[in-house]
Structure 1
Amino acid sequence: MSTDDALEITHETTPNRDGWMLSLRKTVARRPRPHGDEAPRRPVLIVPGYGMNSFIFGFHPTGRSLEHHLAWRGFEVWSVDFRAQGRSRSTGGALTGWGLDELATIDTTAAVAHVLDRTDTGASQVDLIGCSLGTSIMLAHAVLGDRERLGSLVAFGGPLRWAQVHPLVALAFRSPWLAAALPFKGTRRMAELALPLLLKTPLMSIYLNPQSSDMSRWREMIATVEDPIPQINGEIARWILDRDLTLQGTNITKAVEGLGNPLLCVVARQDGIVPAETARSPYLHSGAELKALLEVGDEKLPHAHADLFLSREAEARVFEPTAEWLARPTSGIAGV
């Protein structure tokens, strides 16, 4: 890290009022270089996705991480660990019996409230960045929660409508009942054992491309891995079959069509976890007047799911366009 944009990182906690103490990480730069004027911007809250915690948002093997870059560009950046993720801890809450609804309407609500209560910006709204399944949680929160507290929304490689499903993902989630019935334990340890072998096979490319991302620090990267939640597995399986997610009797895709928050949709063209046609769905269905589509990756430098955060070009191709758009939301289609 260069000395001209040294970071101040603090860890905070907040109760979700459902038996969990959520962990949040705040990142600001001591000497930022913001786009445009230096007036305080809305705080940015990053929402994690499936089987992961917030670690990866503050990590990059060779350059600035997503958190670091946004902070350098003048944003007050927050990341949250939901229940059963990262540093969050149970205060009586169960490890089962909850799913996407609770993450969207309880945990995200608590995180947004904490950020707005603790921000130094004086803002009354927060911008959200949803990563992978965090995109779906973010959009469900915007539909079912208090959208008046939300500013701009950014979707990083996340599904809304499953317009396309990779065959391996379809196989893994072919049965909602089976997906919900199978417990998962020790996933991080399994990743530690399997990753050195997977890196030598083409199978890895649906998630991460060694030709695009430096994998020399893979042992650190797997700190972001968490055990998947069986109920959420079942919900994803049903969602893939139905194509659209339904929570509280609401079709989230159709409801997003009435959502006016400015939206940036970031798509990894070579993604096999959330294929490009599916990752474009937030952009295609958003009712926002200000919405933009950023597509990343080509044959020379392919970008799959995790490359959005880890590739050698992530700062230039993903983080910087995101920071610039958050500073001045616009409409349009781009590809880099």
Structure 2
Amino acid sequence: MNEFTLDLNQRPRRNRKSATVRALVRETEISVKDFVYPVFIMEGENKEEPIPSMPGMTRKTVDVLLKEIEECVALGVKAIAPFPSIAEEKKDHKGSESYNPNGLVPTCVRAIKEKFPDVVVMTDAALDPFNIDGHDGIVAENGEILNDETVDVLCKMAVCHAKAGADFVCPSDMMDGRIGAIRSALDAAGFTNTSIMAYSAKYASAFYGPFRDALDSAPKAGDKKTYQMDPANRREAIREVALDINEGADIVMVKPACYYLDVLREVADFSEVPVAAYQVSGEYAMLCAAAENGWLDRNRVILESLMGIKRAGAKMIWTYFAKEAAKLLQGES
């Protein structure tokens, strides 16, 4: 045995010497209560389709989704965000199907709230699933995304979802002024208790590809760089967050999560309302692919990635790993 001993006053390793000690001094904890589970829905009955670019995720009809939500509730996952796959014949240039009271999303919301009244339902407010152009807003003949005309439709969509029972409407479109307009529309319709979670710092990221595969919602022409944020910009996120808070957002979001942790930290330090982060489809797909190839330990990287997001300041995490992480956390307890 080496008799050499350093004369050290501080030995940080003493706080890591056992699992119990590590748990006692742990600075950040993740919990099943942190998770929002994004799901993909489609029309019909008793159908489920795999999404090849998102292993383990599927498009489901509402009846099949209700069975999955039962499993989610048993695991402690009680916040659901449904995203619709809309038939091409129901799409138009103005996203009119987005505020159909008998459309797929309001039908889904009513079914969830009827069977699981305590489950929080968060609906997406953007036109890309309903717009034949595949953009989050109405497209002019010259290719410009029309801001104010889009916001008018988003207000109708938000009220439609609120009438169906949505707890949160979540504008993901990145149009200017839409939070204030939606808040006014909800209040005027009597839905003062319907919350708004704003996708405030949503970047024009390449990590959304699998999601667009899942909904067949990729732009038919052009890109989303005139309305989603430039990935090079950090300080601009604070400006967007401040505007959304001032307009009435109850929660703000940073999206994507894992490659924007610096932005998330700054937003969390600045924001006076809770901050969400979305671990997006591309981030999910990369971890799944690496694990399937045996390059990474799937269970460990799931929890480590979520811990990183929580440590950076997220109060809640939107993640396709929600159910799997819940099971892993049960195993740790």
TM-score normalised to structure 2 length? 0.41
Give the structure with higher Rg (CA): 2
TM-score normalised to structure 1 length? 0.41
